[in-house]
């Protein structure tokens, strides 16, 4: 079979990429066509996404792809982070500048929501962990403080759906990303309309939900003209980046919960794959989430603050006039003293601090630990704390599923941090397999390939990734000192401010 080309647009919180996935029978090769930066834009005391700027970069990437792969291209699809949305008016105008999930307007919204609907009912209806960044609380904040746009909204689209609309004119929400909103009922696969009415949020703007792999249409004429692409299909991949990443885990164990994954980037999403949402009391107490995946699977997982801690330390150093790259920071951490100070990575103060170094210092002060001073001490504290949090989550996953976890797969850009990979194996006391870095992009294009009939199942998607990419293995070491550290970490979580 000649090489088929599928274009994947993968937008992350720090950068976006247009990728070409070249499928040749049982092997896939992913090529980065164009990379551009992304990030929150401060706008008059708020944080927004520059979606028009992103669209312009996507068009540039698609033009470059057209020049290189022209007639070989079968389809295009977009994935991004979850929860954020745009509103379109009746005349299909973008209403306002879309908010970034770290904008502070949602503060207090969880409290407000549960004063109207019991928290357990919200969990039973949506199966989602409680995080104030969820779409539900963003919509509630809008309804409470500035309902004009909501009242005018004819269509609600999540960020990837918005780009699919720009590409093809389709106005639907893809399922995997819809499950990140806390607005969807995993049992019915439809919007949790009762919950919306109890929270007095309008529901008329909610479009149809479609599964990953749905053909949404073909490129608009104007996009073809602008980019030089032909009338190719626009296919919804698993539009939630984590769903795409987990679809591309190189495992031959699809269908069992004896392996865990960590999709590691700005966030660390750690969980197992299950065949139906886990909604019991214990999942609620532990604040676990059930996000929809490919082929009817669910990701039982927890959001862990992830390498955001390191990214923000780096930015804080930059503001102090010190520009360091990630490898310099990792090297400094590698030679710093072990377990000098620990933090709960998921303490709310770390979500959007003005200055991450100050936030970590304050946490250490309040918990009577040595305050980090050097770069190495800060980063070591962040990485050890993340690895210890992984161990806690591993234990909870085993408790919820009743299945011991034999191996952890880490995928995504975070796998480049070898120190964290080794810490994870040490802390969790199971082998860690890392790679591919580009799991999200691979998952995106392989779901498109499945829609085109070139691949048959989730298991085959994973087999192709296994055949096509390199992985590394880390064996657990230093079990004794990590076991002592986990004791200390447990005490910290119990007594933390």
Helix axes 375-401, 356-366, angle to 10 degrees: 70
Cα distance between residue 385 and residue 342, in whole Å: 6
| Minimal distance, residue 151 CB to ligand LFR, in Å | 25
Q: Considering the candidates 84, 241, 295, 344, report the single residue annotated as catalytic.
A: 241
E strand segments, 167-267: 173-174, 184-185, 190-191, 209-210, 215-218, 233-235, 259-264
Subset of residues 169 to 208 that bind ligand LFR, contact rule: CB under 6 A: 180
Cα distance between residue 113 and residue 95, in whole Å: 24
Contact between 298 and ligand LFR (CB under 6 A)?
A: no
Contact between 123 and ligand LFR (CB under 6 A)?
A: no
Contact between 81 and ligand LFR (CB under 6 A)?
A: yes
Token couple for 87: 């509103």
Q: What is the C-alpha radius of gyration for the chain, rounded to an integer number of angstroms?
A: 22
The residue (of 84 and 233) whose beta carbon lies closer to ligand LFR is 84
Cα distance between residue 35 and residue 421, in whole Å: 26
Among 140, 184, 269, 272, binds ligand LFR (CB under 6 A): 269
Contact between 138 and ligand LFR (CB under 6 A)?
A: no
3-state class of 64 per DSSP? Answer: helix
Evaluate whether 201 touches 140 at the Cβ level (below 8 Å): yes
- End-to-end C-alpha distance for the chain, whole angstroms: 60
The residue (of 372 and 412) whose beta carbon lies closer to ligand LFR is 412
Among 82, 207, 435, 441, binds ligand LFR (CB under 6 A): 82
The residue (of 35 and 488) whose beta carbon lies closer to ligand LFR is 35
The residue (of 10 and 375) whose beta carbon lies closer to ligand LFR is 10
Contact between 83 and ligand LFR (CB under 6 A)?
A: yes
Biggest CA–CA distance in the chain, Å, is 64
Contact between 130 and ligand LFR (CB under 6 A)?
A: no
Cα distance between residue 295 and residue 444, in whole Å: 14
Contact between 303 and ligand LFR (CB under 6 A)?
A: yes
Among 4, 75, 242, 421, binds ligand LFR (CB under 6 A): 242
| Minimal distance, residue 231 CB to ligand LFR, in Å | 31
Q: Count the site residues for ligand LFR by CB under 6 A.
A: 13
- Bridge-based pairing of strands 289-292 and 472-474 is unpaired
Cβ count near 339 (within 10 Å):
17
Binding region for ligand LFR (CB under 6 A) out of 118-126, 262-270, 324-332, 472-480 = 262-270
Binding region for ligand LFR (CB under 6 A) out of 67-75, 221-229, 263-271, 341-349 = 263-271
| 258 is known as an active-site residue | no
> Which DSSP string corresponds to 275-338?
SS---SHHHHHTT-EEEE-GGG-EEEEEEE-TTHHHHHHHHHHHHTT----HHHHHHHHHHSPT
Give the DSSP letter of residue 97. Answer: P
| Minimal distance, residue 179 CB to ligand LFR, in Å | 10
Among 241, 346, 347, 375, binds ligand LFR (CB under 6 A): 241
> Which DSSP string corresponds to 120-143?
HHHHHHH-----TTSHHHHHHHHH
Binding region for ligand LFR (CB under 6 A) out of 120-128, 209-217, 259-267, 423-431 = 259-267
The residue (of 241 and 273) whose beta carbon lies closer to ligand LFR is 241
Among 163, 175, 261, 267, binds ligand LFR (CB under 6 A): 267
Taking residues 350 to 389 in sequence order and writing x for each that binds ligand LFR by CB under 6 A, - otherwise, the string is ----------------------------------------
The residue (of 160 and 213) whose beta carbon lies closer to ligand LFR is 160
Cα distance between residue 421 and residue 414, in whole Å: 9
Contact between 162 and ligand LFR (CB under 6 A)?
A: no
The residue (of 227 and 242) whose beta carbon lies closer to ligand LFR is 242
The residue (of 242 and 341) whose beta carbon lies closer to ligand LFR is 242
Taking residues 208 to 237 in sequence order and writing x for each that binds ligand LFR by CB under 6 A, - otherwise, the string is ------------------------------
Evaluate whether 130 touches 113 at the Cβ level (below 8 Å): no
The residue (of 212 and 265) whose beta carbon lies closer to ligand LFR is 265
| Minimal distance, residue 113 CB to ligand LFR, in Å | 18
Give the DSSP letter of residue 392. Answer: H
Kindly provide the b/e burial profile for residues 246-260, where b requires at least 16 CB atoms within 10 angstroms of the residue's own CB.
bbbbbbeebeebebb
Cα distance between residue 227 and residue 207, in whole Å: 28
Residue with tokens 């009746």: 90
The residue (of 36 and 339) whose beta carbon lies closer to ligand LFR is 36
Evaluate whether 26 touches 457 at the Cβ level (below 8 Å): no
Give the DSSP letter of residue 98. Answer: P
Subset of residues 101 to 120 that bind ligand LFR, contact rule: CB under 6 A: 101
SS3 content of the chain, % helix, strand, coil (to 5): 45, 20, 35
| Minimal distance, residue 490 CB to ligand LFR, in Å | 25
Cα distance between residue 476 and residue 474, in whole Å: 7
Token couple for 125: 């209806």
Binding region for ligand LFR (CB under 6 A) out of 56-64, 75-83, 250-258, 354-362 = 75-83
| Minimal distance, residue 82 CB to ligand LFR, in Å | 4
Q: What is the contact surface with ligand LFR in residues (CB under 6 A)? A: 81-83, 101, 180, 240-242, 265-267, 269, 303
Catalytic residues: 241
């Amino acid at each position: 079979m000649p090489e088929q080309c599928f274009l994947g647009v993968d937008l992350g919180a720090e950068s976006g990429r247009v990728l070409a996935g070249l499928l040749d029978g049982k092997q896939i090769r992913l090529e980065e066509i164009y990379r551009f930066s992304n990030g929150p834009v401060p706008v008059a005391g708020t944080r927004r996404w520059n979606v028009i700027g992103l669209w312009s970069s996507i068009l540039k990437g698609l033009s470059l792809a057209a020049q290189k792969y022209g007639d070989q291209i079968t389809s295009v699809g977009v994935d991004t982070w979850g929860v954020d949305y745009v509103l379109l008016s009746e005349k299909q105008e973008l209403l306002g500048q879309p908010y970034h999930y770290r904008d502070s307007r949602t503060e207090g919204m969880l409290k407000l929501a549960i004063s109207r609907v019991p928290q357990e009912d919200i969990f039973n209806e949506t199966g989602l962990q409680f995080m104030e960044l969820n779409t539900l609380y963003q919509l509630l904040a809008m309804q409470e403080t500035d309902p004009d746009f909501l009242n005018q909204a004819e269509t609600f689209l999540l960020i990837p759906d918005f780009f699919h609309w720009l590409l093809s004119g389709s106005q639907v929400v893809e399922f995997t990303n819809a499950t990140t909103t806390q607005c969807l009922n995993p049992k019915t696969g439809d919007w949790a309309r009762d919950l919306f009415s109890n929270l007095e949020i309008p529901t008329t703007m909610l479009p149809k939900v479609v599964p990953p792999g749905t053909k949404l249409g073909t490129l608009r004429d104007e996009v073809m003209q602008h980019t030089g692409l032909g009338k190719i299909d626009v296919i919804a991949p698993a539009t939630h980046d984590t769903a795409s990443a987990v679809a591309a885990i190189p495992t031959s164990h699809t269908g069992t919960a004896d392996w865990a994954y960590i999709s590691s980037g700005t966030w660390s999403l750690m969980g197992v794959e299950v065949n139906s949402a886990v909604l019991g009391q214990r999942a609620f107490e532990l604040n676990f989430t059930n996000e929809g995946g490919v082929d009817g699977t669910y990701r039982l997982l927890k959001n862990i603050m992830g390498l955001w801690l390191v990214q923000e330390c780096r930015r804080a150093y930059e503001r102090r006039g010190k520009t360091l790259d990630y490898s310099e920071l990792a090297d400094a951490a590698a030679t710093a003293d072990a377990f000098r100070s620990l933090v709960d990575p998921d303490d709310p103060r770390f979500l959007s601090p003005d200055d991450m170094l100050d936030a970590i210092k304050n946490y250490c002060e309040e918990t009577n630990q040595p305050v980090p001073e050097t770069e190495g001490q800060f980063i070591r504290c962040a990485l050890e704390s993340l690895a210890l949090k992984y161990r806690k989550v591993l234990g909870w996953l085993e408790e919820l599923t009743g299945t011991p976890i034999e191996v952890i797969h880490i995928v995504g850009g975070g796998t480049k941090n070898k120190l964290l990979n080794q810490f994870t194996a040490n802390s969790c006391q199971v082998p860690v397999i890392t790679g591919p870095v580009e799991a999200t992009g691979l998952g995106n294009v392989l779901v498109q390939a499945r829609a085109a009939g070139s691949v048959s199942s989730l298991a085959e998607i994973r087999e192709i990734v296994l055949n096509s990419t390199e992985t590394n293995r880390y064996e657990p070491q230093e079990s004794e000192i990590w076991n002592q550290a986990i004791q200390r970490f447990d005490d910290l979580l119990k007594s933390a401010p």
